[in-house]
């Protein structure tokens, strides 16, 4: 049995145990789902990875809120899978959500901000601008038209 298969088996078991003992909406369960999606991606099972990540993002948004730092982490994972699927416009959209979160939580001077910004520039230059513009306008960049963007924090919230 290969390492990725072992990882998949362990994650599936762990997620099931977490759902039983913690709940389906527990952050640990959600992040376990993210890791399982990353494993699927590494196995080349990109459609399964996208489906699981989008489900995880939707649950994260409902149960943790889009302002939670791990929401951006899961969006980064979605961007990486979209890239592997050659869906640059969707990847750019996911990375822009991550960039906004990084700017709010850290600063534009933080090295992570530069990494994300550079990734967006690289993909934007590599994509046909008309394709990206069309995908953005018709809503196909987001999941089913649902807005996955991060909401602004109130000034009194901290973490």
Supply 44's token pair.
Answer: 């080349």
Domain boundaries, the chain: 1-134
Confidence check: pLDDT of 150 > 60:
no
Best CA proximity match to 58, nearest among 71, 47, 41 = 71
Q: Residue 84 phi/psi, 5° resolution?
A: -60, -30
Architecture of the structural domain at 1-134: Alpha Horseshoe (1.25)
Q: How far apart are CA 77 and CA 65, in angstroms?
A: 17
Q: Tens of pLDDT along 91-146?
A: 999 999 999 988 888 888 888 889 999 999 999 987 655 454 454 444 444 443 34
What's the pLDDT score for residue 110?
85
Q: How far apart are CA 63 and CA 27, in angstroms?
A: 9
Q: How far apart are CA 84 and CA 93, in angstroms?
A: 15
């Amino acid at each position: 049995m290969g390492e990725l298969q072992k990882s998949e088996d362990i994650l599936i078991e762990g997620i099931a145990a977490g759902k039983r003992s913690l709940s389906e909406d527990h952050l640990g369960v959600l992040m376990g789902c993210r890791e399982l999606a990353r494993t699927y991606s590494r196995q080349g099972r990109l459609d399964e990875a996208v489906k699981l990540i989008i489900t995880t993002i939707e649950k994260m948004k409902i149960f943790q809120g889009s302002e939670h730092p791990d929401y951006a982490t899961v969006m980064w994972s979605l961007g990486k899978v979209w890239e592997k699927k050659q869906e640059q416009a969707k990847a750019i959209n996911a990375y822009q959500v991550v960039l906004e979160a990084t700017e709010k939580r850290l600063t534009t001077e933080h090295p992570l901000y530069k990494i994300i910004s550079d990734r967006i520039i690289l993909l934007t230059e590599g994509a046909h601008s008309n394709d990206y513009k069309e995908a953005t306008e018709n809503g196909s960049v987001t999941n089913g038209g649902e807005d996955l963007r991060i909401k602004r924090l109130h000034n009194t919230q901290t973490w």
